[in-house]
Amino acid sequence: MTAKPSQTAPPPRRKILIADHETGTTVPLRFLMEQSGYEVRVATTGEEAIRVATAYKPDLVLLEAMIANPDGFETCQLIRENPNLAATRIIFVTAMIREVDIAKGMALGADGSIKKPFANAEIMDHVRKLLELTDGDGSNQ
């Protein structure tokens, strides 16, 4: 008798939505996330981000507060109000540096914020930590 090799499926790739209007941010972020093994989608307006998030159900959204139509704060709030996206983590990646803006994002349901410009290691550390938390509570799986 020959034993069959284990046929365990690889874990599903984690999904990330980058919502930013600046290609100077989206292109390198997308490259960094894809090189790290994540599946990535990009949206350039708040409306597009909500539409893509609803269909794509990302594990994580990297959201620019200054995105338009609607802005990042309202986009965050609308994602949080969607019960199908309740487990989706949100990190604001923004040039807004006022503490009041950071506090507003957190109050609307963001899980963290990173100020632009950012170091690749810094953003990857935040992404990995949040996705580990998602793994730990079984959400979005």
Tens of pLDDT, residue by residue over 49-82, are: 999 999 999 999 999 999 999 999 999 999 999 9
Q: What pLDDT does residue 11 have?
A: 65
Q: What pLDDT does residue 97 have?
A: 73
* DSSP secondary structure of 32-81: HHHHTT-EEEEESSHHHHHHHHHHH--SEEEE-TT-TTTTHHHHHHHHHH
Residue 6, pLDDT > 80, answer no
In tens, the pLDDT along 74-131 reads: 999 999 999 999 999 999 998 877 889 889 999 999 999 999 989 999 999 999 999 9
Domain assignments of the chain as residue spans, ordered by start: 15-135
Write down the pTM of the prediction.
Answer: 0.87
Report the alpha-carbon distance of residue 30 to residue 16 in Å, rounded: 9
Closest CA to 62 of 88, 31, 92: 92
**Three-class DSSP category at 93:** strand
Tell me which CATH code domain 15-135 carries: 3.40.50.2300
Assign 12 a pLDDT band (cuts: 50, 70, 90): confident
β-bridge mates for residue 112, sequence order: 91
